[in-house]
């Protein structure tokens, strides 16, 4: 997959000042970013989060998922360490898009779980693609990572791209009464490494 680097600038946030790096997918025109802090090309393992866009969770504070809490926690952990990167990918709704995610939400309101809802709309349970990461990792010089994730598919995707996953760091946050069933479905049907209610 061809991804073109655009530009880098400073991004001050409540958690600290990050660098924001812009990329455009040459095939579909989607824009992806990296938020980074510190020297990424030192060869030392880099604290990394691969985060797929979730407008409802990241920007609208939805409690139906844990996405917004995960994004904020990743930014806080990187700021505390002083070095790391968040790869923010435009793959709303595990790849089905925003309006289809709203359709899926309606099905969930009527009893379907998150996987069943996607499948009823004619989609796979998880439609995300991580191939755009290769040129993004190459641009910032990251080859070894400490990956903040509960999703084994992300670990496998990085290994396929020859990025060495030194360590998986559990990234559980944001559980609430509105997303408890969603999290259990991700654990039971998608294989996410989530401890559960007692965590």
Q: Which of 49, 128, 160, 168 is catalytic?
A: 128
Residue 117 has which token pair? 């809802």
Q: Does 119 fall in a domain?
A: no
Is residue 108 one of the residues assigned to a domain? Answer: no
**DSSP code string of the chain:** --EEEEEEEEEEETTEEEEEEEEEETTT--EEEEEEES-S-SSS-EEEEEEE--IIIIIT--SSSSHHHHHHHHHHHHHHHT-EEEEEE--HHHHT-HHHHHHHHHHHHTT--HHHHHHHTT--S-----TTHHHHHHHHT--EEEEE-S-HHHHHHHHHTT-EEEEEE-------TTTHHHHHHHHHHH------TT-
Can you tell me the mean pLDDT for 75-82? 97
Note the pLDDT of residue 188.
65
Give the Cα separation of 192 and 24 in Å (integer): 29
- Domain count across the chain: 1
Q: Catalytic: 83?
A: no
- Asked if residue 113 is part of any domain, the answer here is no
pLDDT(129) > 50: yes
How would residue 96 be classed by pLDDT, with cut points 50, 70 and 90?
A: confident
Q: Is the pLDDT of residue 111 over 90?
A: no
> 178 vs 148, which has greater pLDDT?
148
198, pLDDT greater than 80: no
Distance of alpha carbon 142 from alpha carbon 37, whole angstroms:
12
**pTM of structure:** 0.89
Examine the pLDDT at 197 and tell me if it is beyond 60: no
Tokens (6 digits) for 42: 């030192």
109 inside domain: no
pLDDT band at 103 (very low <50, low <70, confident <90, very high): very high
The two three-digit tokens of residue 93, written as one number: 């709704």
- 136 inside domain: yes
Is 103 part of a structural domain of the chain? no
User: Exactly one of 126, 144, 160, 168 is catalytic; which is it?
Assistant: 126
Q: What is the mean pLDDT of the chain?
A: 88
Q: How confident is the model at residue 187 (pLDDT cuts 50, 70, 90)?
A: low
CATH (domain of 142): 3.40.50.10990
Q: Dihedrals φ, ψ of 57, to 5°?
A: -85, -45
Average pLDDT score over residue span 39-53:
93
pLDDT at 45 over 80: yes
Q: Give the residue numbers spanning the domain of 67.
A: 3-91+128-190
For residue 153, indicate whether it is catalytic.
no
Is 132 domain-assigned?
Answer: yes
In a domain, 22, yes or no: yes
């Amino acid at each position: 997959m061809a991804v073109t680097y655009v530009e880098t600038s400073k991004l001050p946030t409540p958690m600290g000042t990050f660098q924001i790096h812009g990329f455009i997918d040459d095939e579909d025109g989607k824009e992806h970013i990296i938020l980074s802090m510190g020297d990424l090309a030192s060869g030392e393992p880099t604290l990394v989060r691969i985060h797929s866009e979730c407008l409802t969770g990241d920007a609208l504070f939805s409690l139906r998922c844990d996405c917004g809490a995960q994004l904020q926690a990743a930014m806080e952990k990187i700021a505390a360490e002083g070095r790391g990167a968040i790869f923010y990918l435009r793959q709303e709704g595990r790849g089905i898009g925003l309006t289809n995610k709203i359709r899926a939400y309606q099905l969930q309101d009527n009893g379907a779980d998150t996987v069943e809802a996607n499948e009823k709309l004619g989609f796979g349970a998880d439609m995300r693609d991580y191939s755009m990461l290769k040129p993004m990792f190459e641009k910032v010089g990251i080859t070894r990572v400490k990956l903040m994730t509960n999703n084994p598919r992300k670990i496998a995707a990085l290994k396929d791209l020859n990025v060495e996953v030194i360590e998986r760091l559990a990234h559980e946050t944001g559980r609430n009464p509105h997303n408890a069933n969603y999290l259990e479905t991700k654990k039971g049907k998608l294989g996410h490494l989530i401890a559960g209610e007692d965590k």
